[in-house]
Chain A
Amino acid sequence: MSALTLISDNIFDIFIILMWSMVVFVPILVGVILAVYGDRKIWAAVQKRKGPNVVGPFGLFQVPADGLKYIFKEIIIPDGADKILFIFAPILTFSLAIAAWSVIPVQAGAVLSNINVGILYIFAISSLGVYGILIAGWSSNSKYPFFGALRSAAQMVSYEVSIGFVIVTVLMCVGSLNLTDIVLAQKKIWFVIPLFPMFVVFFISALAETNRPPFDLPEAESELVAGYQTEYSAIPFVLFFFGEYANILLMCSLTTILFLGGWLPPLDITPFNMIPGFIWFLLKLIFVFYMFAMVKAFVPRYRYDQLMRLGWKVFLPVSLAAVVLTSSILFFFNLAPDLI
């Protein structure tokens, strides 16, 4: 009863919150559809194919058509599966992929919730993402999904460490955990120039974190059928697919914010700063996504031990050394940002 009155008293606020959620959700939905389309087109162009070109103008409606097909299919739950967790896993992946977007600023002030610990929030949400995969693999009660989930968990936990250290180096140059502050700190120079090695480490780690090729071992079809999503069909599969691409776009936008100056124009002169900030943000996002897609097209898949070696024996020492080096330089040349 009290819960009902709570809802009825705040019905207007709840409506506003729902509307704001839609404001975040709809662009992501459109963005994911375009990203899948772009991914397939770029991949096709590299391999001298045409890619999707039949449904709609230039094949633009191919992805929504595929989505519709999945929606009308039957949801098959394996006999020995843990039913609740089996359904819960894709929902978790999907909602986490959406939740992280609420703190991404696309323009000065254009952010759903401008929280003080924005970057930590994204880091926390993306570290939760591993649960969707782990639960999916385990609850399927099947060998290949289980192996896929274990691989994926190990991979994501390993590369999160180096992503964390890269973020720390950037944060030392900024002096704030707020994403808007991180962008504004790059007014003089984008961090990609002084911190270029960190940019490379972050980009490769982001590929591994989102299970993109060449690190798509959790779903290496030649070894594991389709990894953790082998047993999934229809809507749960769409949720996984959507979550994966939303995460890729999230990592692209995080790269943009941390290293490429977010919504800031490349030079603060007249023809450039006439263009509104979110256009710059989108352009940079598309550029980073293009790199993601190209890597998928021309890099062969890593072997699993090579992947682990790269994560722990190369990236971890490099990023750890970079943290020490950056802090030393900031300290000795008195470049550290004023905090208090």
Chain B
Amino acid sequence: MVISSKNPVHSVLFLILTFFNAAGLFVILHAEFLAMILIIVYVGAVAVLFLFVVMMLDFNFTKSKENVLQYMPFGIFIGVVFICELIIVLINTRLDLANIQILANPFLNFSDMTNTQALGSVLYTDYILYFQLSGVILLVAMIGSIVLTLRDRPGVRRQVIGEQLERNASSTVLKEVNSGEGIDI
């Protein structure tokens, strides 16, 4: 539905539905922390901005549908690759439904704690390096995007909150204007 919808806003909404379903899968796997984080981060923040951009776009989407056949072979190729991957994974994995609890909770010695605690106790100890590295990557990406979009435009009148708050009756400029004469500033 994400790719077949005519209207791009509908596509984004279906994408959000997909995120939501993924969160539902996490809940079924007893990974409630991941599910909630997925909703907060992807649905609550990323997809909102996405929807924002798509709603603001002024682009004729009916025209772009005309050359959809041009991209068809490439799309089919990627689809086939993904299906092959899925099939390989399914063949090689023996899904033990009786022990689904073990699958959902790989840390057996943590079985009596909530999965938020389990996640924290490995993330900040064994995998601290990867955690910090991903943080640094995100920071670099953030600084990069700020630098790319920061422009110092001259001649822009900015609101300076401090000056506005400092203004009082004595510093107010009042000019007597006779009616019909106008004024030079």
Contact = CB atoms under 8 A, between A and B. Distances in A.
Interface of A: 82, 85, 115-117, 120-121, 123-124, 127-128, 130-131, 134-135, 138, 146, 150, 153-154, 157, 160, 164, 177, 305-306, 309, 339-340
23 contacts: A115-B32, A116-B32, A116-B33, A117-B33, A120-B33, A120-B36, A123-B40, A124-B36, A124-B43, A127-B40, A127-B43, A128-B43, A131-B51, A134-B51, A134-B52, A146-B55, A150-B55, A150-B56, A153-B48, A154-B52, A157-B48, A177-B33, A340-B117
B113 interface: yes
Contacts of B114: 116-117, 177
Contacts of A150: 52, 55-56
Contact of B45 (A127, A339, A340): A127
B121 A124 contact: no
Nearest to B115: A116
A191 to B, nearest CB: 20
Contact of A177 (B7, B13, B116, B121): B116
B44 A128 contact: yes
A117 B117 contact: no
A306 B44 contact: no
Given A115-B32, A128-B43, A135-B13, A120 B37 contact: yes
B9 interface: yes
Contacts of B36: 117, 120-121, 123-124
Chain A contact residues, majority secondary structure: helix
A340 B45 CA distance: 32
- Counting chain B CB atoms within 10 Å of each CB, the highest count among A124, A154, A306 belongs to A124
Interface string B37-74: 10110011100110110011000000000000000000
Contacts of B9: 138
A339 B116 CA distance: 11
Contact of B116 (A116, A123, A154): A116
Contacts of A134: 48, 51-52, 55
A164 B45 CA distance: 12
Contacts of A309: 161
Interface of B: 7, 9-10, 13, 16, 32-33, 36-37, 39-40, 43-45, 48-49, 51-52, 55-56, 113-117, 121, 159, 161
Contacts of B39: 124, 127-128
Interface of B is mostly: helix
A120 to B, nearest CB: 4
Contact of A339 (B55, B117, B159): B117
Contacts of A154: 52
A340 B37 contact: no
Given A134-B48, A157-B48, A305-B159, A117 B32 contact: yes
Contacts of A121: 36
A127 B48 CA distance: 10
Contacts of B49: 157
Contacts of B13: 85, 135
A222 B40 CA distance: 33
Contacts of B115: 116
Contacts of A339: 117
A339 B114 CA distance: 11
A153 B16 CA distance: 16
Nearest to B38: A124
A46 to B, nearest CB: 25
A121 B115 CA distance: 15
A154 B52 CA distance: 9
Which of B16, B52, B115 gathers most chain A CB within 10 Å? B52
B180 to A, nearest CB: 30
B55 A138 contact: yes
A121 B113 CA distance: 19
Which interface residue of B36, B115, B116 has the most chain A CB atoms within 10 A? B36
Contacts of A340: 113, 117, 121
Contacts of B117: 339-340
Contacts of B51: 131, 134, 153
A101 to B, nearest CB: 17
Contacts of A164: 40
A116 B112 CA distance: 13
A128 B42 CA distance: 10
A144 B32 CA distance: 39
A177 B114 CA distance: 10
B44 A124 contact: yes
B159 A130 contact: no
Given A120-B33, A340-B113, A130 B48 contact: yes
